[in-house]
Amino acid sequence: MSAVNHSPAASGRVPGGRPPGPDDPLRIAYLTYRGKPHVGGQGVYTRHLTKALADLGHHVEVLSGQPYPVLDERVPLVELPSLDIYNDHFPMRMPGLWELKDRWDWLEVTSFSAGTFPEPLAFSMRAWDHLRARTADFDLVQDNQCLGYGLLALERSGLPVLGTIHHPITVDRRLEMEHAETRRARWGKARWYSFTRMQTRVASRLRRVITVSKNSYDDIVSDHEVDPARLFVVPVGVDPELFKPLPEIERTGNRIISTASSDVAMKGQRYLLEALAKVRANRPELDLKLVLVGKLKEGSAAQRTIAELGLDDSVEFVSGVTDQRIVELYNESACAVVPSLYEGFSLPAIEAMSTGCPLVATTGGHYPRWPATTERPASPWPPATAETSREGSWRCSTIRTPLRPSAGRAASGSSIDGAGATPPSRRWSTTAPPSSFPRCSDLRR
């Protein structure tokens, strides 16, 4: 854990003890109930956002449960350990009685025994328990999609809370239930996702909420019943100095890249794998290979699908690598595929386009909005069918000319390809307009 700098410049304290003004640095308690380092909405978002806040002069402390995020050295981590029921090595384990050390451990194991996902509620209460004695240490609490009842308790204790919702988990619930193979499985999914009722109650009561896209904005208003006047769009983005075309790297014509951040129906991995198998069967001379950025879980649906389709030698999982290596993989690949049934935004899509990698994406979620702001953003395909995924993968396999900066505009960086399309990194940068953010003073009203 990093040492905490309590100097006025770092902490946001201002002379006379008055609340910070619009241009004063803030003391921010950032909450993330999970911080898995290579998962976009967890560790990746947390690492980049808190680093950017530190760059702007704010003091940020991250409070997290397992798995813990990897943070900038200036950002201290406060570990609020859960019972780690959903760990990678033994998921859904039942904790022993000797592990239950306080009331929040009992709350977590009781919720788990009832069949629901217990982490958001239990973490929010642990965060409240920790912060209620430190209300003078912070100007703002920012929550990363925990949306547990503890946030309302924090507001009652006098701390302003800013909620962050990437997309409503109610969407995951609907898709998982639609894809459940039996009535029993459907009932189990409904029970596991019952925590979304809590998230709706909390989201609708928070004073300010931010999200990452207009698509998520609409779904949050609809599903979580959040007042549009209290909801703000703050787009996520990529670092254009890191995610960029690398002219010295030659693309491999038969390689497709995608991500495997989670093994859920919403991500559409099954359809991509089925499409890959069909293209390989119909056009064996292409010898298509798929690189999935993520870790293959033992016993997962992806592992079973790969085995059933005989793709063991055609699919490679890459995990635990640096951001620079991810950039190189995009530059080495013929194209990137995002097969999701739904996305609130999708950082991998922006990363691919920013590196000049051709993109094939479904029309799920935020993607249909892109063509209105760009000339040639991607090849869109309807989600949820192996046939359309096959057609998309076939188009991807025929791409041989990578998107590179045009000769006339390479120096200015105003184009990413010969058609003159605006680079995604300039539309979705790491900096959002100041007017997009609610002010701390607004949260205290």
Q: What is the pLDDT of residues 222-233, one digit of tens each?
A: 999 999 999 999
The per-residue pLDDT for range 180-215, each reduced to its tens digit, is 889 999 999 999 999 999 999 999 999 999 999 888
User: 117-157: per-residue pLDDT in tens?
Assistant: 999 999 999 999 999 999 999 999 999 999 999 999 999 99
Task: Indicate whether 419 pLDDT > 90.
Answer: no
Asked if the domains 8-236+434-443 and 252-427 are classified in one and the same CATH topology, the answer is: yes
Query: Could you give the CA distance from residue 398 to residue 200 in angstroms, rounded to a whole number?
Result: 45
**Average pLDDT over the chain, rounded to whole?**
81
Fold observed for domain 8-236+434-443: Rossmann fold (3.40.50)
If pLDDT is split at 50, 70 and 90, which confidence band does 84 have? very high
The percentage of residues in the chain with a pLDDT greater than 70, rounded to a whole number, is 76
**Angle between helices 103-113 and 119-131 in degrees, nearest 10:** 170
In the structure, what pLDDT confidence band is assigned to residue 381 with cuts at 50, 70 and 90? low
Using alpha carbons, select from 265, 263, 266 the residue that is nearest to residue 292. Answer: 263
Cα 361 to the chain's mean position, in Å? 17
Give me the residue spans of the domains in the chain.
8-236+434-443, 252-427
Question: Does the pLDDT at position 372 exceed 90?
Answer: no
Residue 368 in this model has a pLDDT that exceeds 90: no
Bigger pLDDT: 355 or 390?
355
Supply the pTM of this predicted model.
Answer: 0.77
Superfamily of domain 252-427: Glycogen Phosphorylase B; (3.40.50.2000)
Taking residues 46-75, report their average pLDDT.
Answer: 95
Give the pLDDT of residue 405. Answer: 36
Residues 321, 323, 328, 329: is their CA dihedral positive or negative?
Answer: positive
Q: What phi and psi, each to the nearest 5 degrees, are found at residue 358?
A: -55, 145
pLDDT score of 413 more than 50: no
pLDDT value at residue 320: 83
